[in-house]
Chain A
Amino acid sequence: MGVLIHIGYHKTGTNWLQRRFFSDPATGYRWLGKRPGSHPVRRFVRDRPLEFDPASVWAALDPMIAEAEEAGLVPVLSLERLSGSALSGGYDSARIADRLHQVFPEGRILAVVREQRSMVVSTYKGYVQQGGAAPLDHFLEGRRSATFRVPGFDSAYLEYDRLIAHYRNLFGAENVLALPFDRFVEDGRRFVERIAAFAGRPVPSDVLDALPYGHRENIRTTSTLTLSLVRRLNQLAPPTDVNPAPLLESPSVARLADRLVRRDPLRRKSAGADERLRRAVDGWAGDRFAASNARLSALLGIDLGQYGWTVEV
């Protein structure tokens, strides 16, 4: 039985798939998990460039795979970080693909992609929630040195066709399934059926009927206005990897920011700010993804234009 490898992207129903689909034994699948921090799936990301040992990672995952298979379930490796991180421009996306191929040359790859403008809005909000303090324009087009010292956000990361083509080269086109997130929103049942058909283990009809497609994990996003306050507070909170040198390092400010994110006190007044954020991202995006989306449409055989993606004609 082959391993199903779900690489993300972030913000594309990953939590739902992990918790509602791949963690329900009735579906015939078993998610191998991602916790604790030392979980072997994280080694695809964390092991240093010249220190990755495929045999050792395989040995660490093997007992989990054997346990799933013994129970007659399809083992699923699912971690959204396997597609890279938008916050650092996917600097390691290709390397992770190569590592996955070294460990699971027979693996089947699932990638879920999402229209870029909504993806960028969601990513920027996530960045602020995780401690980021840069305004949107600096986040999107930050100043870069000539020597590329530290990777930051890079719009090319969201040109999905490149990574999908790389996976197809590595694993074979028939072993890579890429679906737009819009298909999940449109018809969750069909979306799951498609994944199951690809993985070679159909999900029984009664189980498909019972899956909570309407249930969204992490769906509530904090409003733009509240986040603009949180962003300023992040200047005074302890450092994070996205804000390594804040002015102060006050844990109480971090607690306050966290409370604001959860309670979202400015939600009702945020309609204008939300709209401005969307418009700013729209203006920045323009048609920069249109050519890539056209290539992706052709690659997947799906008309992405019908879902509101900008596609070059």
Chain B
Amino acid sequence: MPVLVHIGYHKAASTWLQRELFVDRTGYRWLGKRPRSHPVRRIVRERPLEFDPADVRSAFEPLIADAEQPGLVPVVSFERLSGHPFSGGFDIDLIGERLAQVFPDARVLIVVREQRAMILSTYKQYVQVGGAAPLQHFLEPPVGRSLRVPLFDWRYFEYDHLVRHYRRLFGPEHVLTLPFELFVRDGRAFVQRIAELGGRPIPDDVLETLRYRRRSNRARSALTIAAVRSLNRFSEHTELNPAPVAEWRSAARLSEWLQRTEVLDHRLTNGLEARSQEHLRGAVDEWAGDRYAASNSRLADLIDADLAALGWDVAT
């Protein structure tokens, strides 16, 4: 039974798919991503000259066998497999090649999302996990001539390059690319398309009971994000903020508390929140302009989808 590999993207229903769809009662079983030593992470983390596909495959074998024994389709699902936006997808090609070495017969699912919404959500996530740069610097990071450290790169969201790469590696008929907006509009149709790719249709009664509206990882408000970003300058260092001015545990705790309680999202601050959110959205819109229109047009042709009808910017 071919493995279904879902590579992300981030911020495109990955958690929903992992927790709501790839569960035993649908006929699919997610092979997980925890603990840190899980073999799916080896596809990302192992150094270029040390990756051993046979060894990784053998680490997966017991998990795959566990799924296949009760007749379930094994699903490798990990949003990091599509690269990481914080570092411009520096390893997207390599990960695709590694997946093809480990799972040559796989069916591949890619979920893409309109860029402006995607980038706004990505920036909020960046701050939530420790980033301290303001939006403008996040979007246009300082780049040395020799590109020493890969940071955000807008071209990461030109999805057509990656889709084409996977089609070359696995064959066009084995790669399904779906827009996230289809999930929002018609979750059932979205799931049915995935089940067609996986080769295991989901019974109607199961389709009816799936919780299409359930959302996890809800983005924090713009106001909370602004406060957390300021605190990140004084919190423990991370790979996103390697040298904060100070490392105060109290700042880290306050940041966690603000995010957990969302105390800043009060009806008294509604107006301020709306203005902050509008400001962020407007800044991303203006920055994006029509930079993705040509790529989106190529993607629409490639996957035969009317992306413009879903609110994407598509060159005509």
Q: Could you tell me which residues of chain B, from 247 to 299, have a CB within 8 Å of some CB in chain A?
A: none
Residue B92 at the chain A interface, CB threshold 8 Å: yes
Q: How far is the CB of A105 from chain B (nearest CB, A)?
A: 20
Q: Are A239 and B137 in contact (CB under 8 A)?
A: yes
The one of B80, B87, B165, B239 in contact with A50, judged by C-beta atoms closer than 8 angstroms, is B165
Chain B interface residue bracket vs A? 35 or more
List the count of A-B residue pairs having beta carbons below 8 Å apart. Answer: 151
Q: Could you tell me which residues of chain A, from 116 to 154, have a CB within 8 Å of some CB in chain B?
A: 130, 132-135, 138-139, 142-152, 154
Nearest neighbor of B245 in chain A, beta-carbon distance: A247
Residue A12 at the chain B interface, CB threshold 8 Å: no
Nearest neighbor of B38 in chain A, beta-carbon distance: A146
Asked whether A149 and B87 contact (CB < 8 A) given A87-B149, A247-B233, the answer is yes
The one of B142, B146, B245 in contact with A85, judged by C-beta atoms closer than 8 angstroms, is B146
Residue B104 at the chain A interface, CB threshold 8 Å: no
Residue from A95, A130, A243, A245 with most neighbouring chain B CB atoms (10 Å): A245
Q: Could you tell me which residues of chain B, from 18 to 49, have a CB within 8 Å of some CB in chain A?
A: 36, 41, 44-45, 47-49
Q: Are B141 and A244 in contact (CB under 8 A)?
A: yes
Chain A neighbourhood of B80, CB < 8 A: 147-148
Chain A interface residue bracket vs B? 35 or more
Q: Are B239 and A144 in contact (CB under 8 A)?
A: yes
Chain B neighbourhood of A252, CB < 8 A: none
Q: Are A142 and B155 in contact (CB under 8 A)?
A: no
Residue B131 at the chain A interface, CB threshold 8 Å: yes
Residue B105 at the chain A interface, CB threshold 8 Å: no
Asked whether A241 and B148 contact (CB < 8 A) given A51-B161, A143-B238, A149-B84, the answer is yes
Q: Are A148 and B142 in contact (CB under 8 A)?
A: no
Q: Are A85 and B41 in contact (CB under 8 A)?
A: no
Residue B147 at the chain A interface, CB threshold 8 Å: yes
Residue B68 at the chain A interface, CB threshold 8 Å: no
Chain A neighbourhood of B149, CB < 8 A: 85, 87-88, 150-152, 241-242
Q: Are B84 and A147 in contact (CB under 8 A)?
A: yes
Q: Are B245 and A50 in contact (CB under 8 A)?
A: no
Instruction: Give CA–CA (A167, B27) in the complex, Å.
Output: 46
Instruction: Give CA–CA (A153, B134) in the complex, Å.
Output: 24
Q: Could you tell me which residues of chain B, from 48 to 91, have a CB within 8 Å of some CB in chain A?
A: 48-50, 80, 84, 86-91
The one of B41, B87, B241 in contact with A146, judged by C-beta atoms closer than 8 angstroms, is B41
Nearest neighbor of A234 in chain B, beta-carbon distance: B243
Q: Are B133 and A239 in contact (CB under 8 A)?
A: yes
- The contact string, 1 if C-beta is below 8 Å from chain A, for chain B 208-234, is 000000000000000000000000110
Instruction: Give CA–CA (A149, B145) in the complex, Å.
Output: 22
Residue B203 at the chain A interface, CB threshold 8 Å: no
Chain A neighbourhood of B88, CB < 8 A: 48
Instruction: Give CA–CA (A280, B165) in the complex, Å.
Output: 45
Q: How far is the CB of B293 from chain A (nearest CB, A)?
A: 18
Q: Are B147 and A49 in contact (CB under 8 A)?
A: no
Nearest neighbor of B48 in chain A, beta-carbon distance: A94
Instruction: Give CA–CA (A235, B244) in the complex, Å.
Output: 8
Residue from B48, B90, B92, B94 with most neighbouring chain A CB atoms (10 Å): B48
Q: Are A244 and B142 in contact (CB under 8 A)?
A: yes
Residue A298 at the chain B interface, CB threshold 8 Å: no
Instruction: Give CA–CA (A92, B239) in the complex, Å.
Output: 18
Instruction: Give CA–CA (A302, B41) in the complex, Å.
Output: 37
Q: Secondary structure at chain B's binding surface: helix, strand, loop or mixed?
A: loop
Q: Are A143 and B237 in contact (CB under 8 A)?
A: yes
Residue A81 at the chain B interface, CB threshold 8 Å: yes
Q: Are A245 and B241 in contact (CB under 8 A)?
A: yes
Chain B neighbourhood of A91, CB < 8 A: 48, 90-91, 150
Instruction: Give CA–CA (A143, B239) in the complex, Å.
Output: 6
Chain B neighbourhood of A234, CB < 8 A: 243
Q: Are A241 and B142 in contact (CB under 8 A)?
A: yes
Q: Are A150 and B151 in contact (CB under 8 A)?
A: yes
Residue B195 at the chain A interface, CB threshold 8 Å: no
Residue B3 at the chain A interface, CB threshold 8 Å: no
Instruction: Give CA–CA (A243, B88) in the complex, Å.
Output: 17
Nearest neighbor of B138 in chain A, beta-carbon distance: A244
Q: Are B87 and A133 in contact (CB under 8 A)?
A: no
Q: How far is the CB of A163 from chain B (nearest CB, A)?
A: 7
Chain B neighbourhood of A245, CB < 8 A: 131-133, 137, 232-233, 240-241
Q: How far is the CB of B12 from chain A (nearest CB, A)?
A: 16
Q: Are A156 and B47 in contact (CB under 8 A)?
A: yes
Residue B308 at the chain A interface, CB threshold 8 Å: no
Q: Could you tell me which residues of chain B, from 81 to 135, have a CB within 8 Å of some CB in chain A?
A: 84, 86-94, 129, 131-133
- The contact string, 1 if C-beta is below 8 Å from chain B, for chain A 162-194, is 110110000000000000000000000000000
Q: How far is the CB of B78 from chain A (nearest CB, A)?
A: 9
Residue B199 at the chain A interface, CB threshold 8 Å: no
Instruction: Give CA–CA (A132, B243) in the complex, Å.
Output: 8
Q: How far is the CB of B277 from chain A (nearest CB, A)?
A: 22
Nearest neighbor of B37 in chain A, beta-carbon distance: A146
Q: How far is the CB of B211 from chain A (nearest CB, A)?
A: 26
Chain B neighbourhood of A92, CB < 8 A: 90
Chain B neighbourhood of A242, CB < 8 A: 148-149, 242
Q: How far is the CB of A54 from chain B (nearest CB, A)?
A: 14
Q: Are A148 and B143 in contact (CB under 8 A)?
A: no
Q: Could you tell me which residues of chain A, from 49 to 92, have a CB within 8 Å of some CB in chain B?
A: 49-51, 81, 85, 87-88, 91-92
Give 8 closest A-B pairs by Cβ, nearest first: A133-B243, A94-B48, A245-B132, A49-B93, A245-B133, A134-B243, A50-B161, A81-B146
- Sample of 6 A–B contacts (CB below 8 Å): A49-B90, A93-B48, A134-B243, A135-B243, A143-B239, A238-B142
